Amino acid sequence: MAVEVTSPRGAANDFEPHEKTYNTFLSLTLLGIIHVVTLVMIVAIFGLAGALWLGSIALALALGTLLFGLFTRGNWKPAVGAFAVTLLFFLISLA
């Protein structure tokens, strides 16, 4: 005799919020990784080159994109722009 196994009520509808939460987690993780690398370059700009004005601009841009990314639940695309500008400033400060 076969026994019918039923899932708890609402378990089938619970998958979509979990997937949304996971995607938000991945976006915030990527945002964090981009900003950690950006901040390491900013520290190098301040420490190695002593270029205070370049480092200050890069820091303000990085903090602005970080806040924007946090308020939009992990929008990491502006952070890539801040990373590119910081990389450019880093290369300028080493020259």
**Interval 29-52: pLDDT, tens:** 999 999 999 999 999 988 887 788
Among candidate residues 48, 79, 76, 44, the one with its CA nearest the CA of residue 61: 79
Residue 8 is assigned to a structural domain of this protein:
no
Among candidate residues 76, 72, 84, the one with its CA nearest the CA of residue 38: 84
Q: How many domains does the chain have?
A: 1
Residue 14 is assigned to a structural domain of this protein:
no
Residue 12 is assigned to a structural domain of this protein:
no
Residue 85 has pLDDT above 80, yes or no: yes
Residue 37 is assigned to a structural domain of this protein:
yes
Express as a percent the part of the chain with pLDDT over 70. Answer: 87
User: For the whole model, what pTM was predicted?
Assistant: 0.77
Q: State residue 81 phi and psi, 5-degree precision.
A: -65, -45
Residue 17 is assigned to a structural domain of this protein:
no
Q: Where in the sequence is the domain holding 88, given as residue range(s)?
A: 26-94
